[in-house]
Amino acid sequence: MSEQCRDWLKTLWAASYKGVPFFFESDDEEGGRGLVVHEFVNRDDPFVEDLGENARYLSGSAYVHGDDVDAQESSLKQVLASRGAGSLVTPLGGPILVRCETFKRHHEKDKLGYVAFEVRFVREGAAAGLISIPFALNTAFGAADKLASEISSLFSSSITALGEPDFVVSAAVESVAMAASALDVIRTSYRVEPASSAIVRDALANIIASAPAAISAEVLPGEDANALIQSLVTATRAIGDALPAQTAAAAMLEYASAFSAVAPRVATSAGSRAEANSAAVFRAARLAALTAYAEAILRQTYAARPDGVTARADIAERFELELFETTGAANASLYLAIDGLRSSVIDYLSRVINDLAPVITVETARILPSLYLAFRLYGDPLRASELVARNGVRHPSFMPQVITALSR
């Protein structure tokens, strides 16, 4: 049993709001469900109606201190009173998109150099009061663009090369080549649209060729390294767009699984930095795949309610794992971009699910042909192929006595 304890000071987030830092003496989070309890005459059991999640509030005691506390206090007041939503970083919970509802400044003459604030935030909600399915779809695709941009813009700050041994730099270069090669395997393994396939092929070859120069030990990694990863993200999304939606989802999950996060194994300082370089590349490839996966989910059509529910659960689970791996104040904007894409896709699917037909179980006294069942259920024999596909029947003339079908 390990006797090591968590180093809390290294794992807690540095508090800030819209980029302005401060300290939390304590912070609280308040939430719940909007429940309406209906009671009826001569009935012992009430009916509890769930109206959805209540607004999430975050509050606490914040403070700034130092010889320049007057300037810090002024900056914090200004940002707390500013219009629009912004990123609030709490020590334990990390970043969340909120709006400041109220703040109250407090200063005591016996605590010079120290100014306290009582603050209250509310988590940012929907972009509009009533959101249509097309609007939710466009919002989700916009969130995918946002995440794609964040993946590349933060890459150069995630790797180290200047003054490092050759193997530390090579770890990043070789990992980029590995990510590009794995994507090329996806390109050649699936029936990608030919014109898009050729463009991606040339882009991947250029990524592999330019990686050594973009990630160099002589200079700090910068715009060239970010552009390198941007090309990888663009190529990944291009392959997803060039495949049928269902096929693209499977291909992107296959690609993402090749770059799962692994625990560090090397104890030396330089070895740890080499692993960190590889991990940064793998995370970028994994996030690029998840971005394309989310776009494939958005492009799919769903015939039945369970199909949409399953897709929504898959999105929530896979992005939750990535959010768990994205820690630290330096990754706050990336964390919000991942969470934004996950939330917008879930919101879109939730709205689509409401319009989908439930699946019912149909039982017959004997084996019947699909044409007959389609006519009896829907008044449309052309839907026979739908029943055959849903139930995995080998011959349409011999349907099982128990089948599943859409309710309408």
> Is residue 1 one of the residues assigned to a domain?
no
User: Domain range for residue 33?
Assistant: 12-123
Q: Are residues 339 and 383 in the same domain?
A: no
pTM of this prediction exceeds 0.75: no
> Is residue 3 one of the residues assigned to a domain?
no
> Is residue 46 one of the residues assigned to a domain?
yes
Q: Are residues 249 and 344 in the same domain?
A: yes
Spatial distance between the Cα atoms of 69 and 115, rounded to a whole number of angstroms: 7
How many CA atoms lie within 13 Å of 88's alpha carbon, on the beta-carbon side?
Answer: 30
Q: Are residues 291 and 319 in the same domain?
A: yes
Per-residue pLDDT of the chain (408 residues; tens, 9 = 90+): 456 788 887 788 899 999 899 999 999 999 999 888 888 888 888 888 888 889 999 999 999 999 999 999 999 999 999 988 889 999 988 888 899 999 999 999 889 999 999 999 999 876 655 567 788 888 889 999 999 998 888 787 778 777 778 888 888 889 899 999 999 999 999 998 999 999 999 999 999 998 888 887 555 566 788 888 899 999 999 999 999 999 999 999 999 988 876 555 656 787 888 888 888 889 999 999 999 999 999 998 887 778 888 888 889 888 888 888 887 777 888 888 998 899 899 988 888 887 666 777 888 888 888 888 888 887 888 888 878 888 888 888 888 888 877 776
Q: Are residues 347 and 373 in the same domain?
A: no
> Is residue 128 one of the residues assigned to a domain?
no
Q: Are residues 140 and 107 in the same domain?
A: no
Residue 110: which CATH number?
Answer: 2.40.30.200
> Is residue 6 one of the residues assigned to a domain?
no
- Let me know: does 403 contact 391? Beta carbons within 8 Å: yes
Q: Are residues 170 and 96 in the same domain?
A: no
> Is residue 2 one of the residues assigned to a domain?
no
Q: Are residues 29 and 80 in the same domain?
A: yes
Q: Are residues 188 and 41 in the same domain?
A: no
DSSP per residue, 84-120: S-EEEEETTTEEEEEEEEEEEEE--TTSTTEEEEEEE
> Is residue 337 one of the residues assigned to a domain?
yes
**Number of domains composing the chain:** 3
Ramachandran assignment for 113, one of left (phi > 0), alpha (psi -120 to 50 degrees), beta (any other) = left
Residue-wise over 270-293: b if at least 16 C-beta within 10 A, else e? Answer: ebebbbbbbbbbbbbbbbbbbbbb
Q: Are residues 165 and 293 in the same domain?
A: yes
Q: Are residues 280 and 307 in the same domain?
A: yes
Given 91, 123, 155, which residue is the final one in a domain?
Answer: 123
Q: Are residues 161 and 306 in the same domain?
A: yes
Q: Are residues 19 and 150 in the same domain?
A: no
> Is residue 323 one of the residues assigned to a domain?
yes
